[in-house]
Amino acid sequence: MPTYVCTIKEGRLSPDQKSRIAGEITRIHCEVTGAPTFFAQVIFEEVKPGNYFIGGAPLAHDQIFVYGRVRAGRSVQDKQKMIRLMAEVVANAAGVSRTGVWIYVAELPPRQMMEYGYVLPEPGDEHVWTNALPTEHREFMQAVGR
């Protein structure tokens, strides 16, 4: 956690653009929240033509929709900061106007989530939680994304 799903028209982004967007979303989330990078997931979901509608009509412009699911407990200011920064980097990486980037962030209770085989900690408790894990599991998690 967090998980950010980027929905785009099929073929809209190159592999380099996807990599840049994933890296920037991860960086921003972790810098703003202090969460370790091994929690962050960015998934690209490509939609075939005719399967993406806005206002009841087929999508006719460059639209990138980012839906983030994050652990509850972050301040409104932090969430708004993440949204603003992410909108800027996604727009830049994709070569679109900020009006074509929509970002929603929804919260889930940490104690109702499991990753790497363990129920997640409250925000701010990541370090203590990580250090309490068996060494093998901790080292595996910390190696993800390197």
Q: What is the DSSP letter of 133?
A: S
Quickly list DSSP for 54-83.
Answer: ETTEE--S--EEEEEEEES---HHHHHHHH
Question: What are the chain's domains?
Answer: 3-143 (3.30.429.10)
Higher pLDDT, 145 or 27: 27
Higher pLDDT, 43 or 118: 43
Each residue of 38-84: pLDDT tens digit? 889 999 999 998 898 888 988 888 889 999 999 898 899 999 999 99
Q: What is the bridge-based pairing of β-strands 114-115 and 118-119?
A: antiparallel
| Cβ pair 59, 52 in contact under 8 A | yes
Task: Count CB neighbours of 141 within 10 A.
Answer: 18
Model-level pTM greater than 0.85?
yes
Residues of the chain above pLDDT 90, percent: 62
**Whole-number pLDDT of residue 144:** 83
**Whole-number pLDDT of residue 9:** 92
